[in-house]
Amino acid sequence: MPLLLRTLMLCLLLGIGPDGAAAPSPLLAQAASRQWMHGAENCSIDRNPAFEVFQADADTYILRQNKCLHFEAPFIYVLFGAHTVFVQDTGGKVDGPATALLDTLRGLIEQRARNSASASPAMLVAHSHSHRDHTGGDAQFRNRPDVTLVEPQREAIIRQFKLSNWPQGSATLDLGGRMLQLLPTPGHQDESLTVFDERTGWLLTGDTVYPGLVLVQHWPSYVSSVQGLAAFARQHRVSFLMGTHIEMSRGGKLYPVGTTYQPEEAGLGLQVADLFELDRRLQQTRNNAAEIVLDRLVVQPIGPVRKALGAVLKALGV
Ligand SMILES: [Zn+2]
Ligand SMILES: [Zn+2]
C-alpha cells in the first residue's frame, strides 16, 4: 500500500489529521466551511431572521447576526453541557425586539428539553472581548435568575474564572461532561479571551484570529498571545480556529468595511497551519508593529489617531 494512503488510513483510525491536528467530524468540518447568511444587495427588502442558527452537532450551535441588521454580523457560539450552556458573546445592538437572542436561546433549550428527559441547563454568558458588536445584547441577560452574565471587563473575567495570573495561565470550565479551557489572549483588546472546547476541538478565538482584517491595539501582547495559542495548538487536538467575523471572500479579498453584502464569503474556520504561519510572521516583527498579510487573514496595528478616537468614543459611550 502506498505510504501516503497508509498514513491517511492511520490518521483516520486515530482521529487525527495528517498534520497532527484533530480530524473533525463532517458536520464540524461543515461548520468551518459552510456558506452563511451574508447580507443582501438590498437590505430594505431582506426578510431573513435576526440570527441564523446552525446546529454543528447535538450539543453545539453557532448563531450569526443578520448582516442587514448589523454590518459586523458577529458569530455567537452556544455550547451545551449537562448542567450549563456556555454562550460566547451577545452580538451587536440593533433596533427590534430587545430579547431576540435570549428568546432564540430559550427556544434551543426548550427544544432540547422536549427531546430528552434532562433538566434545563443554566446559562453562562461570557465574551470574546468587550467590543460593542459582541456585547450589544448583554442587557437582555442581566438580572435573570437562571443566567450568569460575566461582564466584559478584565477584572470581572479574572474574578469569575479565577484567572489571577492574567495574562499567564488558563482556567478550566466544566459544563457537565464537557470541558472548556479559557486562555487570556490580549492584543486585539486587553480583555480578549480565547476558549478551547475539547468536544469539538474548536479554538474560539473571537477577534484575535478570524478570516478578515484583525486590528491590534497592543502589538507586543498580541505577539505573545498568538505565540501562546500556537504552543497550545501543538499540545492539544485543535480542529479549527473559529472566530467571530468573516470579512474576506473565498478568493482572499477583504470586503470594504461597513459592507452589508458579502457574496462568495470565505468559510469561518481557519486551520492550525494558518495560526502557525501567523505566529512565525509575528515573531519576525520582533515586536515592531507592522501589517501582516496572509492568505486567510490580515493583521494590522491600530495607529495612535485611531486609538485616541476609539478612547473618545468609548468615553462618550458611542
Ligand atoms: Zn473587536
Ligand atoms: Zn468584532
Ligand nearest to the CA of 188: 1
CA-CA distances (angstroms) from residue 129 to 75, 108, 121, 151, 206? 13, 24, 24, 10, 7
* Ligand 2 centroid distance, CA of 113 (Å): 32
Per-residue model confidence (pLDDT) at position 1 = 45
Q: Judge whether residue 16 has pLDDT over 70.
A: no
Kindly report, residue by residue over 249-279, the tens digit of the pLDDT: 999 999 999 999 999 999 999 999 999 999 9
Of the listed ligands, the closest to the CA of 245 is: 2
d(CA 87, ligand 1 centre) in Å? 17
Contact 62, 46 (CB under 8 A): no
User: With 80 as the cut, is the pLDDT of residue 305 above it?
Assistant: no
Q: 73 φ, ψ to 5°? A: 40, 55
CA distances from 19 to 2, 60, 176, 234, 283 (A): 18, 25, 31, 10, 22
Residue 87 in this model has a pLDDT that exceeds 70 = yes
User: What does pLDDT average to over the chain?
Assistant: 90
pLDDT for position 25:
74
Give 129 Cα–ligand 1 centroid separation in angstroms. Answer: 7
**How many whole angstroms from 117 Cα to the centroid of ligand 2?**
37
Q: Out of 3.40.50.300, 3.30.360.10, 3.40.50.10490, 3.60.15.10, which CATH number does the structure's domain 20-316 have? A: 3.60.15.10
The CA distance from 174 to 259, in Å, is 39
Which string of b and e fits 206-227 if b means at least 16 CB within 10 Å?
Answer: bbbbbbbbbbbbbbebbbbbbe
Percent of the chain past pLDDT 90, that is, above it, reads: 81
pLDDT in tens, 123-181: 999 999 999 999 999 999 999 999 999 999 999 999 999 999 999 999 999 999 999 99
DSSP state letters, 236-275: S---EEEES---BBTTSPBPPTT-SB-TTBPPSEE-HHHH
Question: Residue 140: in which H helix or E strand, if any?
Answer: none
Which is more confident, 198 or 5?
198
Whole-structure pTM value:
0.90
| Ligand showing the shortest atom-to-Cα distance for residue 192 | 1
- Joined together, the cell numbers standing for residue 190 give 486587553
Rounded to whole angstroms, the Cα distance separating 155 from 166 reads 10
Give the distance (Å) from ligand 1 centre to CA of residue 131: 5
pLDDT 10s digits, 49-81: 999 999 999 999 999 999 999 999 999 999 999
Q: Point out the least confidently predicted range of 24-28, 37-41, 300-304.
A: 24-28
Q: How far is the CA of 191 from the centre of ligand 2 (A)?
A: 13
Task: Inform me whether the pLDDT recorded for 18 exceeds 90.
Answer: no
Distances in Å between the alpha carbon of 66 and those of 101, 226, 283? 12, 29, 36
Q: Which ligand is nearest to the CA of 131?
A: 1
Reported as a single tens digit per residue, the pLDDT across 208-218 is 999 999 999 99
pLDDT in the model for residue 263:
94
With CA atoms as reference, report the closest residue to 211 among 164, 179, 171, 253. Answer: 253
Would you state the cell numbers that stand for residue 205, as one nine-digit string?
478565538
Q: What was the pLDDT predicted at 117?
A: 73
Tell me the mean pLDDT in the region 112-120. Answer: 83
- Decide if 181 contacts 237 (C-beta within 8 A): no
Average pLDDT for residues 189-198, to the nearest whole number?
Answer: 98
- 212 CA distance to ligand 1 middle (Å): 12
The cell for 313 is: 468614543
Compute the distance from residue 241 Cα to the ligand 2 centre, in Å. Answer: 15
Q: By the 8 A CB rule, do 203 and 238 touch?
A: yes
Angle at 17 between CA 11 and CA 23, to 5 degrees: 100
Question: Hey, is 196 helix, strand or coil?
Answer: strand
Q: Report the separation in Å between the CA atom of 207 and the middle of ligand 1, taken as the mean of its atom positions.
A: 5
| Domain extents in the chain | 20-316
- Ligand 2 geometric centre to CA of 92 (Å): 9
Ligand 2 centroid to Cα of residue 18, in Å, is: 32
Q: Report pLDDT for 192.
A: 98
Instruction: Give the per-residue pLDDT at 210.
Output: 98
Q: Is the pLDDT of residue 183 over 70?
A: yes
Per-residue pLDDT at 55: 95
- Which residues fall within 8 angstroms of residue 168, CB to CB, at 6 or more apart? 184
